[in-house]
Amino acid sequence: MSLGERIRELRKEKKMTLQQLAGDAITKGMLSLIENNKAKPSMESLQHIASTLEVSVSDLLEDSSSAEKKEIVRQAEELYKKLSYPDTKIFSEILNLIAPHLPAKGRGYLDARLLDLYTRIAYESGNPDWKSYCSRAITLYEEIQVARRAASLRLFRISVKFREKQYEEALRQLLEERQSLEQQSVWTDPLSRLDYDYSEAVFYYAVGQQDKALDTMHAAIEFSKQQKVFYRLDHLYRLAIIHAIMAGNEKEAKMYISRLEAYGLFTDDAEVTEFIQLIWVHYYTSYTKQIDEADKLMQKILKTSKPLEELDSERVEYAKILYYKEQIDKAQEVLENTPPPPYFVTHPIDLSMYSEREYYLAKIYQQQGESDKALAIAEEAWEQLDTFLETPYKTRMRDLIAELNSTN
């Protein structure tokens, strides 16, 4: 395979247009000539093409020598896409697939990618050696000038602190890392910056710095529009919607929901529609108590989604609707059979929202005259909530505990 054919193949694999690959470094016409083997790229152009395609220059020039390794990477990435956490079977499959091919000393993109994938799954599997693989992958990515992959893996390393609920430390490391990247002027693509913008906003929310979170989030949305890049835009809109709902700002919530709806239509993303329906259900049940409206939307969700027993947040919302419709026994059954949040859900706001399961169970036991049981459930939930920033969910649980204590 010629160099031009290799570039064209990789570009199409990544679903990039000629203009997207050319960027500002070379002209679209010159890239077309290169792909058709009618022109040879300069080293500077070749480095730009390789970096944008997230491969090394040597991998572009020496395609045939890495066939086996490429197949291992392909298989590992396919397995990685199928992950449904925690899926120890697929964890083991990926680790066993990659382990025999881990390089003693990495050379190019394929070695870096193997180390990258191994890092992420080794962490999920509880292997403490993931840090050394992570450092090696980052170093290799930077040596071959694949800045975005390096930035992504650095962000993964920081996110581990966040998942361990070390929110302040995660934010400190993120800001420090970001400052270093900006001083080195390595924001070579808008996607890396948006990854950091989104994480920074999420981390600020986690430590209760809502003004900084909003500033970061709004700046990221504007940057996304300026760059005409829609990456992370849906996540940013979701963040804005949840903040507006908790703040009781229905006008702002509706504005961002309409923008998210437009995004969903543009990208043909059905999951966006499901999120919007569910967030309205949550708003109606938790804030405005428009239970009939919530019930109508919930019925739509249940017709098009998985069975109720396979859902998480939807189950809690369904139970809340049953509770307000005075179908107490059924609500109790649904709540008691709803599992705790997945282990990878660690954001204080998400966990606070999940605590509604315990809140409504406690309310049901209170109505049934089992105040001691209600108090035990509420106080157990409070042990975690007490360490989080103030939210309406935390306030409600505190008020319920005070009420239960006053009647005991």
Residue 257 has what pLDDT? Answer: 92
Contacts of 219 (CB under 8 A, 6+ apart): 197
SS3 content of the chain, % helix, strand, coil (to 5): 75, 0, 25
pLDDT at 62 over 60: no
pLDDT at 167 over 60: yes
CA distance 73 to 290: 50
| pLDDT (tens digit per residue) in 352-397 | 999 999 999 999 999 999 999 999 999 999 999 999 988 999 999 9
The contacts found for 122-125 with CB under 8 angstroms, 24 or more apart, are 122/95, 123/160, 124/85, 124/86, 124/91, 125/88, 125/91, 125/92, 125/95
- Longest alpha-carbon distance in the chain: 85
Name which of 235, 313, 236, 312 is nearest 280 in CA terms. 313
DSSP SS3 for 144: coil
Quick one: residue 124, left, alpha or beta (phi over 0 = left, psi -120 to 50 = alpha)?
A: alpha
* Per-range mean pLDDT, top range of 32-41, 162-171, 179-188, 242-251: 162-171
| pLDDT (tens digit per residue) in 268-301 | 888 888 899 999 999 999 999 999 999 999 999 8
Cβ atoms of 225 and 263 within 8 Å: the answer is: no
Cβ atoms of 308 and 302 within 8 Å: the answer is: yes
The chain-wide mean pLDDT, for the chain, equals 88
| Mean per-residue pLDDT, 323-336 | 96
Residue 269, burial from CB neighbour count under 10 angstroms (0-12, 13-18, 19+): middle
Q: What are phi and psi of 136, to 5 degrees?
A: -65, -40
pLDDT at 189 over 80: no
CA distance 318 to 128: 40
Residue 354: C-alpha distances to residues 159, 314, 335, 394 (Å)? 21, 11, 11, 11
| Mean per-residue pLDDT, 336-346 | 87
pLDDT at 188 over 50: yes
- Kindly state the percentage of the chain with pLDDT values over 90: 50
Which contiguous run of DSSP H or E holds residue 345?
Answer: none
Residue 312 has what pLDDT? Answer: 78
Residue 64 has what pLDDT? Answer: 41
Residue 385 has what pLDDT? Answer: 94
Structural tokens at position 149? 């992959």
CATH top class, domain 1-53: mainly alpha
Token look-up 């835009």 returns: 233
pLDDT at 191 over 90: no
Residue 316 has what pLDDT? Answer: 95
Residue 56 has what pLDDT? Answer: 74
Residue 65 has what pLDDT? Answer: 45
Residue 399 has what pLDDT? Answer: 97
Burial 321-354 (b: 16+ CB within 10 A, else e): bbbbeeeeeebbebbeebeebeeeebbbbbbbbb
Q: What does the domain layout of the chain look like in residue ranges? A: 1-53, 343-408
DSSP SS3 for 39: coil
Residue 60 has what pLDDT? Answer: 74
Cβ atoms of 280 and 272 within 8 Å: the answer is: no
HEC sequence for 243-257: HHHHCCCHHHHHHHH
pTM of the model: 0.75
